[in-house]
């Protein structure tokens, strides 16, 4: 009961909507995790049919599909639901996943089942609609933005956005908040947008330099430039 209370309190820290622990007990993500604990115990005892049966009931009740073979740590929270987690997925402690996320596997070319699904490290947050595919490793405290598609390893503390997902240009060391809803961060814009903004600034600077050079030539006086002379 103590561990259950700690778990419910950890959910409350990440979701201000519930007014009591009892209300959190009605969350589909909580039910899905509880039923998965049962299914995983059966799976480890090689009672595969019973494990699948529990998984089937859980999916019907919660709309969350967690394969009985998936390994999940403490204080795992699925907000809202409609999530798919594959057989060889490994999830650490204090991980948060929002709705419509897939931790999917890649099809082995040799037909032999192995590690096919992601490993999500402690404290990671995966935003709505994100797809993490293959045996990739998402580092501790990493943030996966909404609708991002991750197919490569993610560094510890990185913020990933886009399709395919790419890290933002902000150093991970500058962004170490304890929790960010939906993995969002207003201080970390899209890296492509940052590059476009930088290019626009450079273009405006060059326009000003060219205009100054032309004005200097018209007046017959040399114009100093802070960069190399433009041919």
Phi and psi torsions of 64, nearest 5°: -120, 130
Helices (runs of H) and strands (runs of E) counted in the chain: 5, 15
Phi and psi torsions of 169, nearest 5°: -80, -10
Please, what is the Cα angle at 133 between 28 and 93, to 5 degrees? 50
Joined tokens for residue 129: 């609609």
Q: Distance between CA atoms of 11 and 18, rounded to whole angstroms? A: 9
Please, what is the Cα angle at 219 between 216 and 223, to 5 degrees? 20
Q: Distance between CA atoms of 158 and 34, rounded to whole angstroms? A: 30
Sheet with 96-97, edge to edge strand ranges: 77-78, 96-97, 125-126, 143-144, 159-161, 166-167
Task: Give which of 114, 184, 119 is closest to 146, Cα–Cα.
Answer: 184
pTM for the complete prediction?
0.72
Q: In the CATH scheme, what is the homologous superfamily, with its name and number, of domain 2-185?
A: Hexapeptide repeat proteins (2.160.10.10)
Question: Residue 46's CB: how many other CB atoms inside 10 A?
Answer: 7
pLDDT of residue 230: 40
- Contact between 100 and 117 (Cβ < 8 Å): no
By DSSP bridging, strand 125-126 and strand 96-97 are parallel
pLDDT of residue 203: 79
Going from N- to C-terminal start, the domains of the chain cover 2-185, 190-231
Sheet with 137-138, edge to edge strand ranges: 71-72, 90-91, 119-120, 137-138
Joined tokens for residue 159: 């913020």
Q: Distance between CA atoms of 218 and 206, rounded to whole angstroms? A: 18
pLDDT per residue, tens digit, the chain (231 aa), is: 778 888 888 888 888 888 888 899 999 999 999 999 999 999 999 999 999 999 999 999 999 999 999 999 999 999 888 999 999 999 999 999 998 999 998 876 666 678 899 999 999 999 999 999 999 999 999 999 889 999 999 989 888 888 888 887 554 455 555 555 555 554 555 556 656 666 777 777 788 888 888 887 776 655 454 544 444
pLDDT of residue 112: 64
């Amino acid at each position: 009961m103590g561990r259950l209370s700690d778990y419910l309190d950890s959910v409350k820290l990440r979701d201000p909507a519930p007014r009591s622990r009892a209300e959190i007990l009605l969350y589909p993500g909580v039910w899905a995790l509880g039923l998965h604990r049962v299914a995983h115990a059966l799976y480890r005892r090689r009672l595969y049919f019973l494990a699948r049966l529990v998984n089937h009931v859980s999916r019907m009740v919660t709309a969350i599909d967690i394969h009985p073979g998936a390994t999940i740590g403490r204080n795992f929270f699925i907000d809202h639901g409609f999530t798919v987690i594959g057989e060889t997925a490994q999830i650490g402690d204090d991980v948060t996943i929002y709705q419509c996320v897939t931790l999917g596997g890649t099809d082995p070319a040799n037909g032999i089942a192995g590690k096919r699904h992601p490993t999500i490290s402690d404290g990671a947050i995966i935003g709505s609609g994100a797809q993490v595919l293959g045996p990739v490793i998402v580092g501790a405290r990493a943030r996966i933005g909404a609708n991002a598609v991750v197919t490569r390893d993610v560094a510890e503390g990185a913020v990933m956005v886009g399709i395919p997902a790419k890290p933002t240009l902000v150093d991970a060391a500058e962004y170490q908040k304890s929790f960010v809803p939906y993995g969002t961060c207003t201080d970390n814009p899209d890296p492509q947008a940052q590059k476009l903004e930088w290019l626009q600034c450079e273009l405006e600077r060059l326009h000003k330099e060219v205009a100054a050079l032309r004005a200097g030539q018209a007046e017959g006086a040399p114009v100093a430039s802070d960069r190399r002379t433009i041919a």
